[in-house]
Each structure stands twice: as structure tokens, then as C-alpha cells.
Amino acid sequence: MIRSLLLTFILIGSVVSAQAQCAQTLRLAQSIYEQGRLQDIPPLLLPCLVGDQLSHDGKVAAYKLLTLTYLYLEEPAKADEMMLLLLRTETEFKENEVVDPAEFIALLRTFRREPVFRLGLKTSAVATERSVVSADYIDDGTNRGSHGFGFVAGLSGEIPFTGKLDAFTLNPEFMLQIVAFNGQNEYDQSAERGDTARVTPATERQVWVSLPVSLQYNLYSGQITHYYASLGLSADYLMSSRMTLSSTREGSSGIEEGTRSLTHMRNRFNSGALASAGVKRKIGKGLLIAEVRFKMGLFPVSSRAHTYADPALVFDYKYVEGINRINSLMFSVGYVINRYNPKKLASR
Amino acid sequence: MLRSRVIVAILCAGLMASCTTFEDAPPTNRVSFVHFYSSSIPFVGRTAEVDTDGGFILSGEIRHSNGSTDALIIKTDARGRKEWERIIPGGVIKDIKATESHYIVTGDSIALNPESSQVHELVNSYARLMILDKKGTITASRITKKLVQQVESGNSAWVNVDYYGDAVTFDNNGNILMLGSYRVPGENMRAYLAVFDPSDITDSLEHISYTQLDHDYVNCNSIHVTPSSKAVWASRIYSANQNLSRQYTLFPFVPLHGPTPPLSFDAAPSFGGNDNRSHAVQDIQRSPLGFAAIGTYAETNGQNANIYFIRLDAGYTVIPGSVRYIDGQQLLLNNRLLANETKTSSDSQDEGLALAATDDGYVLAGSITSTPMIGNGGKDILLIKLDPFGNLIWKKILGGSGDEVVSSIKETSDKGLLIFGTNTINGLSSMMLIKTDALGNLDK
């Protein structure tokens, strides 16, 4: 145990000692660069780039110095190599147009510096409401629907396009959606004879796995803030659907609250059209996203065969709805991290 | 920023605008439906007819807590949605026939006399025949009533004869033919036929009372006229034997417009008279091959009940070997009807309630009381399709955890089935109209 502790201390001590030594070497190399003795820099600095002998910022400075050195030594292949190492070390390296030499800036711009994709998490509050394709009535009362609230969470990816399409970003996602919506049947046979109305409220909760893919268009880009709008499609699979309902009638015994599984009475596969607008703000190495999205269900969640398929809904609760699509309005926040893969561009 | 806000506002408006409400949505294009008619007081379904406009005309009872009943007539569209309703206080409607311009309705008018000192006068019933126009307005009405003088405890008193309107149809001359029954206090229930001119029902063209009957006769709510102008129907005969009241089935078959009509049913075929169990007939319908009837086969206390079905030929003779006995559980689990030697075997309590004759056979509507093996709870509707020779084609069970009981079944113009009855759950009953496809399904 004591031996292990001693070894650890010795190791840490040697790393700290090496970093201090290489930091001094870096300062010496910068001095030599300013003196114009460019040939002396690579043999001096390259050994310090092996392992962790320099801090992150030290490595960035060393690679930049080596890139400049090779540029002025007219060794472009080595300059490219050092620039690539620089960009891999600091994926978000930005040139300083005021102080950086024009040759360095020009070389830098021959490399792909944009993220190749972004990956992160997104969560949404969702309001869902049915759109009635065709109605079925089990009595002569009125059916009303209202929105319910749910929750969506999942992985969000972004693939920014480059070149002439750099205003566009492909936005695939993998989401778990828990949505809810409400309905109510109210039947009043003859109020003038003193009848009381039978009221049957119902709430259906559905769990979907969704694969939405949107194409974002960048409406406006500031320094750190971007506004976008997007259109897309989603492929959805219904995991479960349950309806909780009760039936009450003043002066009569009602039907107590019960929950029915309707999964077998729902179309498991569906698709939606998506329209979104949002804002992205650069925070750290990623983007904070706030988005509002409207999803219109393209296909009914039930079919004619399902309307009267559940005996308890029909004969006990006397509740049927007809054929519906479901639409959702989502308010999302998320955070996606830039993932880079710098490389020399073939032509610029 | 302003642009973003506009987009958000458009999206929110889009959610609202893109959602079609129930009121704005067109009805689903389908051939089947279930529709309920209810109130905070019990509704009981009695009979339903297919109307000439493709809709339906329904009759039921509103049962008040004081024991009185009102008759309820509901006209619906082809999807069962109510177009109008008419309540006729104090009575029941048992049969309706729809014509192009009118509805012919028969039933009972019931008067409660709680102050009467005579037991048989506490409730008086009068046979009712009405003609309603297509808006439900009563254009003609006739009440059949009669007083007879009886001697009670040495005193002479006038007492009401109870009359009942059981079924109605048209004879071969287009006149209204009404089947009824009546009971003089202290005597048996008897049957009568009355013929009316549709343009004037204030008095009957003919009235035949079958006075020479020695049992209680309770008629089914259907009557038919043969091409040879004979009226046919079915009755339950109550036969007392060693303090047990047993029912068997009689198929009265009487000539209309004859010079001296017989006043008894001596020539009428009967069924079940020699069995020690009851054969209680509920419905008889005309078929392409003759007639068919359905009822309940049970012990005299009503237990171990099965459905029975029997066919008659066009000459109104019971076809030998045509009777079928059906136990609901054995049918649903084993897909078989009972053999004659096992007809008393009963795993579930079943009732044969109504019958529809179709081009390709018969659809029997009954009820099955749920068992641990089968059923959705309470009484469920049991539909059984038989071919013209009584062989099983398919069967279906419909219902929830309450009681669903059929009172009539009809074939619709699209070869579907119109099933009408009562749904009772937690003590409150509703009238229930079910339209299925030709196979008894609700999925199309």
C-alpha cells in the first residue's frame, strides 16, 4: 500500500515536472520563433507533444507555433499535419484575424472546421388533441374532446449541411412520447322532464416510440444565437394505449372509474407531419435549443373495426368515439453537443 | 424575434384549426352500430321495425318508480340517431308495422286504480290500436274495452275485462289484422282477432273471440297471414298439473273472413305438450320455407334453461325432427347443438327470445347468463345462425358486464341484423339498438 502511494506520488511528480519543463520549452520556442531561427523549433518542441507533457492550451499553442514554423519553412505537408493536429486538439479553434498571419488564416480555412453532427437530449411538454376523421355516436348526446398534456424525451441529433446547403440541418431524433387527450360524452334524454344528464369523461394515455426527421432552415444566425424553422416527418409506433373513464348520472348509480387497455384496438404504426420553429444558443461546446413543434398525425389511430370492439366501453360505459387522428403541440428544450471531424478539404 | 413569434403563433393556431371536432366531423361510413336510449328512469326496449325510409321505428317502456309505465316510440335515422320521439302515457307498445305513410301500433293502455276494493280492478288493461303519421302524430286511435256484470259475495257488480293488444299485421285485402288477448276476471286468458279498415279504425270489420279455450293463452308479439288468408301465430299455453304450471307451445292457424269461424284451436298444431318441462315460445317468423319459432326449454321452475328452435312447413305443420335445443355454453365452447337425448343438459341459463328468418336460414337471438367459463358478465346476447335445415353456421356473443336482453331481431335491407332490447347496468336499464352485418359483426 505504501509502495503504491509512493509510486503514485512519484508519477504525479514526474508529470508535473514534465509539464513545467515543456511549458518552459514552449516559451523558449516562441522566443526562438520571434528570433527567426525556425529550423530549431521542431526538434525542440515536438518531443513535448508526446503524451501529456503540455496542458491543453499549451498543446494548442505548440501546434499553432509548429504550423506557422512549417508554413514559413515552406513545408506545406507538415504545416497541414500540424494544423490538423491543432484542430483535433481544439475542435472549436478560431483564428484571430487581427494578430494571426494571413498565411495561417488562409491555411486554416482549407480545413473543415464545422461540426459533422451534433448529439444531445431533448425534452418536451406536449399538448395533444384528437382530430375527428369521422364520428360515431353511441347515444344522442354530445361528444366533446379536449387536449391533454404529456411528456416527450429522447435523443436529438443534428447533421449540418455544408457548401451551398449550409443553411440546412438534418435533425433526426429518437423520442419516447407519453401523450394524453380527453373526451366526454354527455347525454341528456329530456331535461324538461327532470332527467339528469349522464356524463362520461374519458382520458386516453398513449405511449409512442417516435423517429422524427426534420430539415431545419436557418432563418438568422448571430454570433451565438440561431433562429430556424423546420419541416419533417415522423415514423411512430404505439407501445400502449389505456383509457380511464367513469360514468355518472345524478340521482342514479353510475359506473365507477375503470381503466381499459385499448392497445389492441389502435393502429400500432403511424406517421406525422412536423413543422417547427426554434432558437439555438451556443453554450459551451454545444447548443441549447428551445423549440415549438406542431405534429399533425397523418393516419387515424383507430379504424372502423375498433369502434365497437371493447364490450365494456360499449355496453357498460356507453362510450365510443369514432375514428381520430392525433395532433400535438410540443414545447421543447434540449442541448446538443458539437461533434467534429476536422480534415483537409479537397478544394476551397 | 418578431418573425419567430409570428411562426409560434401560426403553429398554435394550426393545432386548433387542424383538429376537427366531433360536431364538424362526418359520420363514419359503416354498416354496424350500437345506440342507446336512456334516461334517469328505466327504459325497456320492446320492439323495433325497419322503416320504409331506411331508418328504424322503436318502441319501449318508461318504467316509473310508482309502478306505472309510459309507452315510448322513437323514430331514428339509418344510424340509430333519434329523429323524434313520442311518449304515450299509461301503457306499452308491443308491435309496430311501418307503411309508406303511417305506423300501425298496437299495445296496451294501462289504468291503475289503487283505491279499488276489488283485486282484479287494481290494474285494468285496455287493448290499444293506433295509427301515427310519419312525424309521430296520432291520427287515429282505438281502445278496446268491455264491462261485464259479475256476482261477487252475492252482489252484482260491473267489472272490466282486461284487453291486450299483442301483434298487428295486414291481411290479404290490406286491412289491419290485430291479435289480442283478453281475460274476464276469474277466467282464463283467451285470444281474439280483429280486422280494421285502415281508413277508419273506430269499429272493427270483424272481431273473433276464441271463447272455447280451456287454458291460459299468452300470445307472441307477431302474427302472419298466409296466402290462403289464414292467420297464424304462436301462443304459450299454461297447463296446470299437480300444482305445477307448465308451458307448452301452440301454433294457432285460423281462417279469416270465414262464414262460421271456429272458436277454439282444436286443429292447431302444438309442441311440447307431452314433455314434463316447459316449452315457452317467444317468437314466430315467416321463412322462405314456412315458419320457424323460438323459445325457452326449461324446468317448470325456470332452471336449467336452454333455447329451443322449431320449424313449420308452409301448411303450418310442425316438421318432424326440426326441433333444435341449444345450450349457450356448450355451443360457444364446443360449437355444437344438443342432441335430442341430451336436450335437458344445461351448463348455462339460456333463453330463446327472438328470431329472424333470412334468405339463407335463420338468426336466433337469445340470452346467456355468464358462467365462469363463458360470457362478459350478467346476461349477454347470444346470436346463432342456422341454415334453412337447422344446421349451425355461426354463433356470436355480445354484451358487457351488465344484462343485455333481446326483445326483437330483424333483417335489414342490406342483409344486416337489427337487434333491439334492453341493457341494464347498476340497476338502470336503457333501450339498446344494435345493427350488425350479416354475420353478426360490429366491425364494418
Q: Which residue of B has its CA nearest to A327?
A: B15
When pLDDT is cut at 50, 70 and 90, the band that residue A234 belongs to is very high
A329 vs B12: CB contact, 8 Å cut-off?
yes
pTM of the model: 0.84
The residues pairing with B409 across neighbouring beta strands, listed in sequence order, are B419
Give the amino acid at B403.
D
Q: Which residue of B has its CA nearest to A291?
A: B8
Residues of B in contact with A307 (CB under 8 A): 28, 30, 442
Residues of A in contact with B443 (CB under 8 A): 304-306, 308-309
Give the model's pLDDT for residue B260: 67
Out of A135, A255, A328, the one facing B22 most closely (by C-beta) is A135
In a 13 Å sphere around the CA of B218, the CA atoms on its Cβ side amount to 12
A132 vs B427: CB contact, 8 Å cut-off?
no
B34 vs A320: CB contact, 8 Å cut-off?
yes
Rounded to an integer, what distance in angstroms lies between the CA atom of residue B395 and that of residue A242?
30
A 247-266 near B (Cβ less than 8 A) = 249-255
A308 vs B442: CB contact, 8 Å cut-off?
yes
- Output the CATH code of domain A115-340: 2.40.160.20
Burial of B189 (0-12, 13-18, 19+ CB in 10 A): buried
Residues of A in contact with B11 (CB under 8 A): 275-277, 292-294, 329
Q: Stretch A215-228: mean pLDDT, rounded? A: 91
For chain B, say whether A315 makes contact (Cβ under 8 Å). yes
Q: How far does the CA of residue B180 sit from the closest CA of chain A (Å)?
A: 32
Q: Residue B276 is placed in which grid cell?
A: 314434463
Out of B3, B11, B28, the one facing A304 most closely (by C-beta) is B28
Please name which of A54, A156, A163, A55 lies closest in space to residue A114, comparing C-alpha atoms. A163
Residue A330 has pLDDT above 90, yes or no: yes
Residues of A in contact with B402 (CB under 8 A): 315-316
Rounded to an integer, what distance in angstroms lies between the CA atom of residue A231 and that of residue A294?
10
Give the model's pLDDT for residue A232: 95
Please name which of B305, B237, B225, B302 lies closest in space to residue B271, comparing C-alpha atoms. B237
Task: Give the whole-number percent of chain A exceeding pLDDT 90.
Answer: 55
Domain ranges of chain A: 2-108, 115-340
Phi/psi for A92 (5° steps) reads: -110, 30
Q: Stretch A234-263: mean pLDDT, rounded? A: 89
Would you say B253 and B312 are in contact if contact means Cβ atoms under 8 Å apart? no
Establish, for the pair of chains A and B, how many residue pairs have beta carbons separated by less than 8 Å: 164
Give the model's pLDDT for residue A214: 96
Q: How far does the CA of residue A186 sit from the closest CA of chain B (Å)?
A: 12
Q: How far does the CA of residue B326 sit from the closest CA of chain A (Å)?
A: 24
Rounded to an integer, what distance in angstroms lies between the CA atom of residue B433 and that of residue B56?
10
Q: Which residues contact A93 (CB under 8 A, 6 or more apart)?
A: A60, A86, A87, A108, A113
A189 vs B401: CB contact, 8 Å cut-off?
no
Residues of A in contact with B36 (CB under 8 A): 138-139, 318
Helical spans, DSSP H, in A90-206: 102-108
Q: How far does the CA of residue B373 sit from the closest CA of chain A (Å)?
A: 17
Residues of A in contact with B73 (CB under 8 A): none
- The DSSP element (H or E) to which A311 belongs, if any, is helix A311-311
Give the model's pLDDT for residue B256: 82
Q: Which residues contact B186 (CB under 8 A, 6 or more apart)?
A: B120, B150
B33 vs A136: CB contact, 8 Å cut-off?
yes
Out of A131, A292, A306, the one facing B18 most closely (by C-beta) is A131
Give the model's pLDDT for residue A9: 56
Question: Packing angle between helix A56-72 and helix A2-35, nearest 10 degrees?
Answer: 30
Residues of B in contact with A252 (CB under 8 A): 40, 426-428
Give the model's pLDDT for residue A146: 87
**DSSP 8-class letter at B438:** T
Query: Mean pLDDT for each consecutive 10-residue tract of chain B (444 residues)?
Result: 57 61 82 90 92 93 87 92 90 92 91 75 87 92 84 79 92 91 86 89 83 77 89 86 78 79 76 87 91 93 92 90 93 90 90 93 94 91 94 94 94 93 91 94 90
Rounded to an integer, what distance in angstroms lies between the CA atom of residue B234 and that of residue B284?
6
B28 vs A136: CB contact, 8 Å cut-off?
yes
ipTM: 0.88
Give the model's pLDDT for residue A13: 58
B34 vs A312: CB contact, 8 Å cut-off?
no
Give the model's pLDDT for residue A14: 57
Would you say B264 and B213 are in contact if contact means Cβ atoms under 8 Å apart? yes
Phi/psi for A212 (5° steps) reads: -85, 140
A 65-104 near B (Cβ less than 8 A) = none
Give the model's pLDDT for residue B15: 55
Question: Packing angle between helix A56-72 and helix A76-89, nearest 10 degrees?
Answer: 160
Would you say A161 and A170 are in contact if contact means Cβ atoms under 8 Å apart? yes
Scanning the structure block, which residue is given the C-alpha cell 515543456?
A22
Best probe of the B interface among A315, A317, A321, A330, by most B CBs < 10 A, is A315
Residues of A in contact with B440 (CB under 8 A): none
Scanning the structure block, which residue is given the C-alpha cell 301465430?
B233
The residues pairing with B219 across neighbouring beta strands, listed in sequence order, are B235
Out of A307, A316, A321, the one facing B401 most closely (by C-beta) is A316
Would you say A219 and A229 are in contact if contact means Cβ atoms under 8 Å apart? yes
> What CA–CA distances, in Å, run from A93 to A109, A184, B280?
11, 59, 96
Give the model's pLDDT for residue A348: 46
B428 vs A255: CB contact, 8 Å cut-off?
no
Give the model's pLDDT for residue B211: 72
Rounded to an integer, what distance in angstroms lies between the CA atom of residue B276 and that of residue B270?
15
Best probe of the A interface among B2, B3, B5, B7, by most A CBs < 10 A, is B7
Residue A347 has pLDDT above 80, yes or no: no
Scanning the structure block, which residue is given the C-alpha cell 347443438?
B337
For chain B, say whether A132 makes contact (Cβ under 8 Å). yes
Out of A132, A219, A329, the one facing B25 most closely (by C-beta) is A132
> What CA–CA distances, in Å, run from A221 to A96, A162, A218?
20, 15, 7
A137 vs B81: CB contact, 8 Å cut-off?
yes
Would you say A62 and A79 are in contact if contact means Cβ atoms under 8 Å apart? no
Q: How far does the CA of residue A133 sit from the closest CA of chain B (Å)?
A: 6
For chain B, say whether A138 makes contact (Cβ under 8 Å). yes
Would you say B192 and B235 are in contact if contact means Cβ atoms under 8 Å apart? no
Residue A16 has pLDDT above 80, yes or no: no
Would you say B249 and B232 are in contact if contact means Cβ atoms under 8 Å apart? no
DSSP-assigned states of every residue in A182-230: EEEEEE-S-GGGTPPPEEEEEEEEEEEEEEEEEEEEEEEE-SSEEEEEE
> What CA–CA distances, in Å, run from B263 to A272, A317, B189, B204, B223?
75, 51, 14, 18, 18
B29 vs A292: CB contact, 8 Å cut-off?
no
B40 vs A195: CB contact, 8 Å cut-off?
yes
For chain B, say whether A146 makes contact (Cβ under 8 Å). no
Burial of B267 (0-12, 13-18, 19+ CB in 10 A): exposed
Q: How far does the CA of residue A114 sit from the closest CA of chain B (Å)?
A: 25
Give the model's pLDDT for residue A295: 93
**A340 vs B151: which has the higher pLDDT:** A340
Residue A7 has pLDDT above 60, yes or no: no
Give the model's pLDDT for residue A122: 96
